[in-house]
Each structure stands twice: as structure tokens, then as C-alpha cells.
């Protein structure tokens, strides 16, 4: 099954990380490794299989885009 993202809420966060983010789509599973701006999303809070994936954003490295 293909992972497809239909929305990301919120669409922005802080460079310090620690923001809760929810990704909605299809094919989402608990074993999915989700990367935000090249860093692995941490602290998976909830996964509703094939519907949504909620986790905590990692801190962004200073000087990166």
C-alpha cells in the first residue's frame, strides 16, 4: 500500500520543536517513519491506521532551512 498525505495540521511550527503535528492521509501505519525537514518525528502520540499519524516535531538544527 502506498502512503499518501492529504493534509498536515498545523502547517508550520517552531524551530525549537516539541509541537504536536497530525498528518492525515491513507496507508499510514504505526511502523511508518515520518521525517520533518530531514529529522525523524519523535514521540508518536497516536496512529489511526490508514487515516492519521500524530507525533511531536523534532528540534531544527540551527542554520538549517
For the record, the C-alpha cell of 35 comes out as 521525517
Give domain status of residue 37, yes or no: yes
CB 17 within 8 A of CB 61: no
Give domain status of residue 65, yes or no: no
Domain, as residue range, for 34: 4-49
Query: How many domains in the chain?
Result: 1
Would you say the pTM of this structure is higher than 0.95? no
Give domain status of residue 55, yes or no: no
pLDDT tens digit sequence for 45-60: 888 888 898 999 988 7
pLDDT tens digit sequence for 3-20: 888 999 998 888 898 999
CB atoms within 10 A of CB 36: 19
Give domain status of residue 24, yes or no: yes
Amino acid at each position: 500500500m502506498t502512503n499518501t498525505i492529504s493534509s498536515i495540521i498545523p502547517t508550520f511550527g517552531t524551530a525549537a520543536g516539541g509541537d504536536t503535528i497530525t498528518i492525515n492521509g491513507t496507508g499510514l501505519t504505526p511502523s511508518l517513519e515520518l521525517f520533518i525537514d530531514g529529522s525523524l518525528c519523535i514521540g508518536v502520540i497516536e496512529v489511526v491506521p490508514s487515516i492519521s499519524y500524530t507525533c511531536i516535531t523534532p528540534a531544527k538544527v540551527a542554520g538549517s532551512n
